[in-house]
Amino acid sequence: MTGGPGPELRTERLLLRRWRPSDRAPFAAINADPTVMEHFPDRLSPVESEMFSERIEHAFEVQGFGLWAVEVPGIAPFIGFIGLSSPRFETDFTPCVEIGWRLATEHWGHGYAPEGARAALEYGFDVVDLDEIVSFTTTANLKSQRVMQKIGMHRDPADDFDHPGTPGWHGRRHVLYRLTAEEWWQYRSAP
Residue 191 has a pLDDT of: 66
The pLDDT value given to residue 3: 47
The reply to whether 166 falls in a domain is yes
- pLDDT for res 1: 39
Angle 53-58-61 (CA atoms, 0-180°, nearest 5)? 135
Q: Are strands 161-162 and 154-155 parallel, antiparallel or unpaired?
A: unpaired
Q: Is residue 30 part of a domain?
A: yes
Q: What is the pTM of this model?
A: 0.92
Hey, how many other C-beta atoms are within 10 angstroms of the C-beta on 17? 18
Residue 118's domain comprises 9-189
User: What pLDDT, on the 0 to 100 scale, is given for residue 6?
Assistant: 64
pLDDT for the residue numbered 11: 97
pLDDT of residue 116: 98
Identify the CATH number of the domain in which residue 183 sits: 3.40.630.30
Give Cβ neighbours of residue 191 (< 8 Å, ≥ 6 apart): none
Chain-wide mean pLDDT for the chain?
A: 93
pLDDT at position 73, please? 97
Residue type, 120: A
Q: Is residue 56 part of a domain?
A: yes
Identity of the amino acid at 15 = L
Catalogue the E-assigned strands of 86-125.
98-103
**Residue 2: inside a domain, yes or no?**
no
The count of structural domains within the chain is 1
Instruction: Tell me the pLDDT tens digit for each residue of 132-143.
Output: 999 999 999 999
d(CA 133, CA 28): 27
- State the sign of the Cα–Cα–Cα–Cα dihedral 171, 174, 175, 180: positive
Which value, in Å, is the radius of gyration of the alpha carbons in the chain? Answer: 16
Residue 4 counted as domain residue: no
pLDDT tens digits, 179-188: 999 999 887 7
Domain assignment of residue 1, yes or no: no
- Tens digit of pLDDT for each residue in 91-123? 999 999 999 999 999 999 999 999 999 999 999
Q: Which residues of the chain have pLDDT under 70?
A: 1-6, 167, 171, 191
Tell me 176's DSSP state. E
Which residue in 9, 132, 118 sits closest to 60, CA to CA?
Answer: 9
Gap between the Cα atoms of 177 and 133, Å rounded = 9
